[in-house]
Amino acid sequence: MNLNKTKKYQHLFFDLDNTLTRSRSPITSKMRERLQALEQDIVVITGASLEQLRSQLRLFNLKEGQTFFNSLTYSILLNF
């Protein structure tokens, strides 16, 4: 799959439930591979708790700003 067309964007935004994952389910290996292949900054938008986000994306030991999927970084924005 040629995903290089996305290079013109600085960030790609995705919803968590029913977009990156099935509702409240862990991310699949196939979706992780697709995100990694994008080689872009990925922004995940969700109403889920921080614990749920980390669980679904399998980010248990990472802190904000660290890399995952080998080359992507993430930040967490919370609604208060």
Per-residue pLDDT band for 22 (boundaries 50, 70, 90) equals very high
More confident site: 21 or 57: 21
Q: What is the pLDDT of residues 57-67, one digit of tens each?
A: 887 655 555 55
CA distance 37 to 79: 30
| Dihedral sign (CA 39, 4, 77, 53) | negative
What is this structure's pTM?
Answer: 0.63
Helix (H, G, I), strand (E, B) or coil at 8: helix
Q: Is the pLDDT of residue 70 over 60?
A: no
Token pair 């067309």: residue: 5
